[in-house]
């Protein structure tokens, strides 16, 4: 967990503002939920491995007898800090459905918490920027999400961002063809999800260790591939999948590509994209940028999840951007800000005169900071300059000097 000093906080706010503004243009609306959720909801089996990383809130009013009687953490906690924004959104939608549009497009840009072991680049409090479309079963939901996300990354200056896409139904259809029994699919997908880290041979080894059938999948890996380039579409997807898989999700992906028009150039089909969470039911995607070797975010369709809270299934698809990764990657211009001026005052100027001068500067549209005069002005001027102040004026009991820029130091 980290503190943010003013320059960092201002940068984060500018990046967050740019993200939200683009998402708003695309018709999404921001909501907010409390940071804590009931632990029964957080531990309902929807969060995959992240559930285990949830920080638990100790119940109030417990006695030593309660402590001694507890057999698991869950006996001592009643709430926890959210580990993602999807579980809270499903709970929010179930609570507020009557107040929301039939198809609800939400923005959430808020911190989440995971009790990770401290390591470089991993934080225990970090911000996610999620957009979700709830109540739309058609592919237009995926199309809007991908278009809005790419437009947002463009607005941040990350024009080269691309989206890898797959569909859970293609994955399970492939596994069935490869001879995996349905009850082994989840275990097999956990292994296949490691392709980036361990490669094809590593995946084959781990599947064999699990006692799963590897012959067909090995043959698929080793088949001769033509090198011809195919634009994103049905032909490209068929090229990277085995013969005989379910064709409906392939046609859906092709429709998404066709609907995106020129943006389809930035889509890639990835037959081994899995995504960790068990709740995905259809399309899944991740976004990448050539300047970094990690994913900037991802998402997918989770049509069964809202039903867990509402009782009736509602289609839903979402996309989450990892804010900390974007913050480190982008520069956002400061825009039209008020100019800042420092009033450097002598020790014998009284507070009344100080406030009058400050108020005059504020009335003239200047952001104004008072600074006590130091014996050597240079370090003070250098600091003000580095903080982005546009100039300064000296105030003595005789009155205020003309404002000066830092380039014309005396």
Residues 167-196 that bind a copy of itself (CB under 8 A): none
Two tokens at 392?
A: 């300064």
> Considering beta carbons, is residue 5 or 333 the nearer one to a copy of itself?
5
End-to-end Cα, the chain, rounded Å: 43
Closest distance to a copy of itself from the beta carbon of 105 (Å): 7
- DSSP SS3 for 164: strand
Two tokens at 280?
A: 């995905």
17's torsion region: left (phi>0), alpha (psi -120 to 50) or beta? alpha
Residues 105-134 that bind a copy of itself (CB under 8 A): 105, 111, 113, 115, 125
How far is residue 352 from each of residues 284, 349, 396, 400, measured CA to CA in Å?
63, 8, 13, 14
Q: Which residues of 7-16 are buried (b: 16+ CB within 10 A; e: fewer)?
A: eeeebbebbb
> Considering beta carbons, is residue 120 or 352 the nearer one to a copy of itself?
352
C-alpha–C-alpha distance, residues 377 and 402, integer Å: 16
Two tokens at 145?
A: 């999400």
How far is residue 246 from each of residues 224, 233, 281, measured CA to CA in Å?
22, 15, 15
- Over the window 240 to 269, marking each residue x when it contacts a copy of itself by CB under 8 A and - when it does not, the resulting string is ---------------xx-xxxx--------
> Considering beta carbons, is residue 154 or 186 the nearer one to a copy of itself?
154
Pure H helices in 260-350: 305-310, 323-329
Residues 213-232 that bind a copy of itself (CB under 8 A): none
> Considering beta carbons, is residue 99 or 402 the nearer one to a copy of itself?
99
Closest distance to a copy of itself from the beta carbon of 209 (Å): 28
Q: Does 333 bind a copy of itself (CB under 8 A)?
A: no
> Residues near 335 by Cβ (< 8 Å), separated by ≥ 6?
14
Q: Which stretch binds a copy of itself (CB under 8 A): 50-58, 190-198, 209-217, 265-273?
A: 50-58
Closest distance to a copy of itself from the beta carbon of 157 (Å): 18
C-alpha–C-alpha distance, residues 85 and 201, integer Å: 35
Closest distance to a copy of itself from the beta carbon of 121 (Å): 17
Q: Does 350 bind a copy of itself (CB under 8 A)?
A: yes
> Considering beta carbons, is residue 35 or 44 the nearer one to a copy of itself?
35
> Considering beta carbons, is residue 382 or 405 the nearer one to a copy of itself?
382
Q: Does 31 bind a copy of itself (CB under 8 A)?
A: yes
Identified binder of a copy of itself from the candidate list 3, 228, 348, 402, rule CB under 8 A: 3
244's torsion region: left (phi>0), alpha (psi -120 to 50) or beta? left
Closest distance to a copy of itself from the beta carbon of 207 (Å): 31
Q: Does 308 bind a copy of itself (CB under 8 A)?
A: no
DSSP secondary-structure letter at 77? E
> Considering beta carbons, is residue 186 or 265 the nearer one to a copy of itself?
265
> Considering beta carbons, is residue 271 or 391 the nearer one to a copy of itself?
391
Number of residues that bind a copy of itself (CB under 8 A): 83
Identified binder of a copy of itself from the candidate list 87, 139, 158, 393, rule CB under 8 A: 139
Two tokens at 34?
A: 């409390």
Q: Does 57 bind a copy of itself (CB under 8 A)?
A: yes
> Residues near 180 by Cβ (< 8 Å), separated by ≥ 6?
188, 212, 213
Q: Which stretch binds a copy of itself (CB under 8 A): 43-51, 76-84, 228-236, 319-327?
A: 76-84
Closest distance to a copy of itself from the beta carbon of 267 (Å): 13
Identified binder of a copy of itself from the candidate list 58, 181, 219, 235, rule CB under 8 A: 58
- DSSP SS3 for 292: coil
Q: Does 362 bind a copy of itself (CB under 8 A)?
A: yes
Q: Does 310 bind a copy of itself (CB under 8 A)?
A: no
Strand partners, 164: 268, 286
Closest distance to a copy of itself from the beta carbon of 4 (Å): 4
How far is residue 215 from each of residues 181, 183, 403, measured CA to CA in Å?
14, 18, 79
Identified binder of a copy of itself from the candidate list 326, 330, 358, 392, rule CB under 8 A: 358
> Considering beta carbons, is residue 134 or 188 the nearer one to a copy of itself?
134
Q: Does 386 bind a copy of itself (CB under 8 A)?
A: no
How far is residue 228 from each of residues 231, 235, 244, 351, measured CA to CA in Å?
10, 11, 22, 77
Two tokens at 362?
A: 């504020």
DSSP secondary-structure letter at 119? B
């Amino acid at each position: 967990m980290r503190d943010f000093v003013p320059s960092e906080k201002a940068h984060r706010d500018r990046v967050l503002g740019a993200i939200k503004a683009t998402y708003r243009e695309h018709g999404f609306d921001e909501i907010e939920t409390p940071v804590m959720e009931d632990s029964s909801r957080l531990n309902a089996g929807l969060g995959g491995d992240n559930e285990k990383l949830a920080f638990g809130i100790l119940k109030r009013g417990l006695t030593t007898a309660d402590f001694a009687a507890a057999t698991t953490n869950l006996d001592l906690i009643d709430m926890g800090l959210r580990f993602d924004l999807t579980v809270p959104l499903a709970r929010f939608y179930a609570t507020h459905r009557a107040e929301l549009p039939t198809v609800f497009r939400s923005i959430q840009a808020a911190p989440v918490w995971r009790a990770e072991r401290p390591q470089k680049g991993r934080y225990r409090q970090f911000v996610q920027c999620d957009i979700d479309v709830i109540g739309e079963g058609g592919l237009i939901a995926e199309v809007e999400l991908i278009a809005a996300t790419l437009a947002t990354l463009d607005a941040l200056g990350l024009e080269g961002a691309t989206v890898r896409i797959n569909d859970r139904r293609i994955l399970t259809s492939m596994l069935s063809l490869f001879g995996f029994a349905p009850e082994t699919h989840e275990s097999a997908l956990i292994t296949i999800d490691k392709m980036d880290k361990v490669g094809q041979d590593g995946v084959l080894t781990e599947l064999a260790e699990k006692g799963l059938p590897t012959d067909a999948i090995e043959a698929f890996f080793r088949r001769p591939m033509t090198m011809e380039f195919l634009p994103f579409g049905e032909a490209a997807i068929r090229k990277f999948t085995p013969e005989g898989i379910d064709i409906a999700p392939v046609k859906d992906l092709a429709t998404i590509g066709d609907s995106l028009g020129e943006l389809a150039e930035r889509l890639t089909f990835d037959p081994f994209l899995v995504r960790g969470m068990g709740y995905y039911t259809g399309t899944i995607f991740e976004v990448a940028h050539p300047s970094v070797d990690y994913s900037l975010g991802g998402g997918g369709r989770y049509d069964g999840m809202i039903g867990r809270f509402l009782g009736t299934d509602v289609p839903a698809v979402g996309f989450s951007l990892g804010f900390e990764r974007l913050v480190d990657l982008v520069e956002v211009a400061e825009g039209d800000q008020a100019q800042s001026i420092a009033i450097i005052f002598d020790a014998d100027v009284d507070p009344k005169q100080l406030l009058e001068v400050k108020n005059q500067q504020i009335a003239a549209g200047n952001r104004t900071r008072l600074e006590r005069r130091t014996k050597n002005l240079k370090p003070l001027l250098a600091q003000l300059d580095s903080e982005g102040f546009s100039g300064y004026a000296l105030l003595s009991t005789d009155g205020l000097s003309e404002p000066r820029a830092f380039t014309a130091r005396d």
